[in-house]
């Protein structure tokens, strides 16, 4: 039997098994599956996903409702596309949906599920979550490293203050700032410079964006296992190649860190020790039920931090500045508020943010319109359950369309309009929190598998954005008009701008600053 005959036989067998199982599921429960579009043979509803799945699914919800069933290949999938349905999954049934389904991105990039984001729910995941929560994301850790964020944002501000007539790629500079701020906490040192010719920072940004795009691809091999070995989209080959680049980068970071500890340039113990020093210490000492960390666990966790902790913050600030370019009246109000609190004779600090409700409203509105993760990382049901009168099968994959929920016209008047005022005190949505408690806006997800770095992300985004508003006026390059600014999205795990934001910064602070 040649390979083609073997492939056809395998597909035929898998199809028969699928329909037998599907028939059994229907006959074994009185509850129906949620509504959804009719699947194609073999590949199911994969063609319905389109190049921008969050947008395609939102359109399908108009016909099939906020709880929708899909069959992607041979995988059962349910999609939550309203706040009330998302709350059912992520709050009422959170424990049942705390697992991740198998995926090529996690397998080939995240060291075969050895990280925090994609690790199976269990002791090792809890250990990784505990370490990052205590040493990086707790209120105390955030306060301890406040000076690092302020210093790195000041470095960015000074870099932007240098006179020049050429437009700057704001996204790239924001990426350098967020990466250096994080690297100083994790490694005890910066990793990039702001020079336009800095090859390392350019390559790093390309690596981050490529990872976010590839992991966001709906890979046919994940949903039709018989076709996995063919790698029809070339995703596996690209993931393996990218993994080697990331592994080289992370290995170099660890080696340089160990050298600096040995030379006394970085503290390996005590109050000012880095996160990497803490992680290395856990290689030798078991910590409760999670046991010891391996070097692979450490690399995988660093990978999470250097991707999710940098790209999401920088892209959110880039979207926020783009919206202000399109809405100069919002920019004027934001600058007036900052000037009334800070003035123009000093830099803004994190302590000032609590007095800036309009700035905070702008950030909420940006997270609403441009959530950093438009389609939540998939979860998987450990047991079958009932949601809103529908049967949800065991091992069913859950997707939450965060993008669609925050644009739901039933909740948000004029949902496509950028209106920060909707979050100001006294407005209808003033109470809405973005930390996973109010399901109308859940940019960081909700429940036990929500984004671990949420508090750091909110602080970094708000402070960085407020500083850029305070310190600069922003102009588009000659010939471009604000009303025609390209706001197209490039889909991946994170929501990137399709066209980078190129701007001319003009200082508005006193010369002595």
Please give the helix or strand (H or E) that residue 255 lies within, else none: helix 235-263
CA distance 53 to 443: 17
What contacts 87, CB < 8 A, 6 or more positions away? 439, 446
> Any known ligand binding at 451?
yes
What DSSP letter does each residue of 197-230 carry, written as one string? T-HHHHHHHHHHHHHHHHHHS--HHHH-GGGGGG
489 by DSSP, 3-state: which? strand
Closest Cα to residue 124, out of 138, 108, 109, 111?
A: 111
Q: What is the DSSP letter of 284?
A: T
The sign one gets for the Cα dihedral 332, 338, 340, 342 is negative
Asked if 216 and 376 touch (Cβ cutoff 8 Å), the reply is no
SS (H, E, C) 391-410: EECCCCEEEEEHHHHCCCCC
CA distance 261 to 257: 6
SS (H, E, C) 39-108: CECCCECHHHHCCCHHHHHHHHHHHHCCEEEEEECCEEEEEECCHHHHHHHHHHCCHHHCECCCCHHHHH
Q: Tokens representing 452? A: 């671990």
Please give the helix or strand (H or E) that residue 475 lies within, else none: strand 472-475
Closest Cα to residue 469, out of 496, 499, 508, 510?
A: 508
Alpha helices by DSSP H, listed for 327-474, are 328-342, 357-369, 402-405, 454-471
Closest Cα to residue 418, out of 369, 357, 367?
A: 369
Residues contributing to the annotated binding site: 451
Residues contributing to the annotated binding site for heme: 451
């Amino acid at each position: 039997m040649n390979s083609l005959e073997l492939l056809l036989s395998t597909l035929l067998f898998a199809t028969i098994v699928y329909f037998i199982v599907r028939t059994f599921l229907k006959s074994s429960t009185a509850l129906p599956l949620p509504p959804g579009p009719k699947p194609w043979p073999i590949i199911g509803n994969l063609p319905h996903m389109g190049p921008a799945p969050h947008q395609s699914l939102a359109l399908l919800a108009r016909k099939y409702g906020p709880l929708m069933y899909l069959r992607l290949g041979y995988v059962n999938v349910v999609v939550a596309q309203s706040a009330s349905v998302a709350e059912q999954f992520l709050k009422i049934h959170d424990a049942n949906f705390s697992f991740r389904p198998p995926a090529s991105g996690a397998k080939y990039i995240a060291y075969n599920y050895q990280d925090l984001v994609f690790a199976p729910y269990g002791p090792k995941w809890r250990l990784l979550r505990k370490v990052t929560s205590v040493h990086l994301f707790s209120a105390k850790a955030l306060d301890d490293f406040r000076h690092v964020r302020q210093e790195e944002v000041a470095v960015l501000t000074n870099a932007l203050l240098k006179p020049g007539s050429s437009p700057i790629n704001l996204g790239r500079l924001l990426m350098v700032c967020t990466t250096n701020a994080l690297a100083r906490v994790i490694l005890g040192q910066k990793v990039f410079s702001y020079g336009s010719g800095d090859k390392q920072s350019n390559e790093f940004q390309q690596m981050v964006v490529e990872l976010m795009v590839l992991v966001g691809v709906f890979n046919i091999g994940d949903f039709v296992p018989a076709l996995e070995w063919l790698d029809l989209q070339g995703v596996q080959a690209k993931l393996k190649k990218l993994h080697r680049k990331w592994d080289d980068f992370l290995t170099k970071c660890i080696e340089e860190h160990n050298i600096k500890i040995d030379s006394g340039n970085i503290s390996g113990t005590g109050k000012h020790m880095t996160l990497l020093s803490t992680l290395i210490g856990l290689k030798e000492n078991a910590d409760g039920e999670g046991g010891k960390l391996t070097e692979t666990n450490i690399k995988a966790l660093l990978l999470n931090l250097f991707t999710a902790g940098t790209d999401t913050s920088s892209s959110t600030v880039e979207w926020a500045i783009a919206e202000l370019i399109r809405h100069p009246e919002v920019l004027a109000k934001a600058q007036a508020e900052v000037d009334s609190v800070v003035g123009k004779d000093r830099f803004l600090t994190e302590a000032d943010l609590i007095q800036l409700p309009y700035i905070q409203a702008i950030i909420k509105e940006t997270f609403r319109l441009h959530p950093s993760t438009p389609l939540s990382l998939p979860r998987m049901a450990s047991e079958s359950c009932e949601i809103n009168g529908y049967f949800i099968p065991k091992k069913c994959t859950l997707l939450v369309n965060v993008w669609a929920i925050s644009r739901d016209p039933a909740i948000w008047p004029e949902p496509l309009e950028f209106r920060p005022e909707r979050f100001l005190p006294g407005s209808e949505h003033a109470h809405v929190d973005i930390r996973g408690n109010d399901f109308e806006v859940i940019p960081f997800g909700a429940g036990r598998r929500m984004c671990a770095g949420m508090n750091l992300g909110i602080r970094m985004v708000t402070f960085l954005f407020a500083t850029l508003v305070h310190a600069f006026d922003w102009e588009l390059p000659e010939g471009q008009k604000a009303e025609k600014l390209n706001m197209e999205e490039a889909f991946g795990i994170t929501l990137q701008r399709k066209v980078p934001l190129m701007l001319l910064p003009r200082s508005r602070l006193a010369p002595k600053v």
